[in-house]
Amino acid sequence: MRIALLGGTGDIGEGLALRWAHDTDHDVIIGSRDPEKARAKAEEYAAELDSRGSETKLTGFANEMAADRAEIVVLAVPPYHVADTVEAVADKLDEGDILISPATGMKRDDSGFHYHRPGAGSVTQLAVDAAPEAVPVVGAFHNLAAGRLANLDADLGIDTLVVADDDAAKSTVSTLAEEIEGLRALDAGSIANAAEVESVTPLLINVTMNNSGLHDLGIRFD
């Protein structure tokens, strides 16, 4: 399967790219608004994997070309770029492709980080509203610490909550998630539940900030 990470040069994009390239046989494509930056990052990730004895080829393209080459398209962009990114690649998406939204809206004040709920109800819903009707959207990977994900020496042992209105797409993304060693996918219901999932991310950041010795927290349900 071909997975494109739009905005794959950023923190969460790097972590997912390295994990999928290291732990699976899927083709990983790095996307960016700047194709040169995408290619440079793909080479950087490939060099890291090569140093670990993993001869995996990663490629880099402009977001539109990356989306055109993939069946799974991850919107690894800041929340305020989600809708614009989907609209920019919409004509490159085919029926049967799947969009994944991991973004969470947050704001910060003197007390810490807080969930910034958009008017649509959630960032995942923003992606749904912008996506072509035949392309399902799945919310996943919201609560993963990017640093922990990108550190291939770190044991994950954490969960990702998955929301979608399309059961087949949810199943596909859950399988992709669990192909990453140490990551478990849990069904959190429909897109209507996305806000509750997204709001966990600022909570984890606040706990990290206020407790010494805790870094790159994740969640595990037992």
Q: Which residues contact 136 (CB under 8 A, 6 or more apart)?
A: 98, 99, 164, 165, 166, 168, 169
**The predicted structure's pLDDT at residue 160:** 98
- The residue with tokens 């994950």 is 156
**The predicted structure's pLDDT at residue 175:** 98
Q: Domains in the chain and their CATH numbers?
A: 2-210 (3.40.50.720)
- The residue with tokens 């035949």 is 134
Q: Give, for all 222 residues of the chain, the pLDDT tens digit.
A: 999 999 999 999 999 999 999 999 999 999 999 999 999 999 999 999 999 888 787 999 999 999 999 999 999 999 999 999 999 999 999 999 999 999 999 999 999 999 999 999 999 999 999 999 999 999 999 999 999 999 999 999 999 999 999 999 999 999 999 999 999 999 999 999 999 999 999 999 999 999 988 888 899 999
**The predicted structure's pLDDT at residue 216:** 86
Q: Answer whether 193's CB lies under 8 Å from 140's CB.
A: no
**The predicted structure's pLDDT at residue 196:** 97
Give the predicted TM-score (pTM) of the model.
Answer: 0.95
Neighbours of 220 (CB within 10 A): 10
- The residue with tokens 């140490």 is 182
Q: Which residues contact 132 (CB under 8 A, 6 or more apart)?
A: 90, 93
What b/e readout covers 50-82, taking b as 16+ CB neighbours within 10 angstroms? eeeeeebebbbbbbbbbbbbbbbbbbbbebeeb
Q: Answer whether 217's CB lies under 8 Å from 208's CB.
A: yes
Cα 144 to Cα 86: distance, rounded to the nearest angstrom:
22
Q: Which residues contact 40 (CB under 8 A, 6 or more apart)?
A: 60
User: Helix H segments across the chain?
Assistant: 11-23, 35-50, 63-68, 82-89, 123-130, 146-150, 167-178, 194-198, 200-210
Eight-class DSSP state of 52: T
Integer CA distances (angstroms), 175 to 1, 85, 140, 164, in order: 12, 25, 12, 14
**The predicted structure's pLDDT at residue 52:** 87
